[in-house]
Structure 1
Amino acid sequence: MDSPTGTAERSVRLTVNGEQRTISVEPWRGLADALRRKLGLTGTTVGCDQGECGSCTVLVDDAPVRSCLMLAAQADGAVVETVESLAPDGELGELQTSFSEHGALQCGFCTPGFLMLGTGLLRAEPAADRARIRECVTANLCRCTGYGSIVDAVAALADSPEEAS
């Protein structure tokens, strides 16, 4: 099927938040745009559309990815997790609750990206210490809270001996 620009769409099969999905996308369509427009998953926010801010971070095969920079076609066969996956039954997940308890959000625009970045870090490094968490979260931009409360929220869930004291 041709898009309005005359470019043939491609069928992309992926698993999104545990569900097998097939979408038709133009070769130039970004993953963030496909998630939002084709699948209605609007929790993924797009801030800069240039990969600078990280608000569009999702997990692709368990790795944090800036979905505004990845083409949807590149996700063919991949497992994609968006912020919606953290509260599948409408109840806040552990990291979301920790963000709330630690005041790690204000306007909320960057929050989905930080939640997915934190989720990816805690899966890969469950015992991450505060220094590692700080290093990781500085990959994304927050213009409201700074990073202290975000680090606190992620650290509260880490298995780090530093956090056990």
Structure 2
Amino acid sequence: MARAIDVANFIVLQGLNNNFDINNLKLQKLLYYSEVESLTNRNGVSLFEEDIEKWKLGPVIPQVYHEFKRFGAKPITETVSTINFEELSDDPWNFTFVEFNEDSLNEDERNCVVKTMETLGNANPFHLVDMTHSEPMWAKDKDKIILGEKHLKYDRNEILSYFRRL
């Protein structure tokens, strides 16, 4: 299973290679729909394990959001590095920066992203927001979300069940 940050970096790379502007808002929705693609076409297998939260503008993977928030609402222009702490070290300063390598995703994982990008890569971010808001998984918690309740999570079984019926 991939890490959400690696999937996000692959989405950014696909956007840059295909001249699709991708800001953090759009990135979050493309991550979500890549997860949908994985769940529905890989027999319920998740693309990444990180939680997907219900925010006012739809699904968000918080760890990924924070990595890319420095771009604000502007298009993301590069992938981000991650920090790898040495597991067996007592030294908190024993870490390395790791540049994104698309080989960190296997072929099936990359295919989920590519399929998602083929259908939604050029979509307007607010169209993607509207799509997610129309889905029952977000809509059922709309009042809580609008009132500011935090850390409401998507249930992957609900996602799978909903999209299999479509």
Q: TM-score of the superposition, structure 1-length normalised?
A: 0.29
Larger helix proportion of the pair: 2
Q: Pick the structure with more strand per residue.
A: 1
TM-score for both structures, normalised by structure 2: 0.29
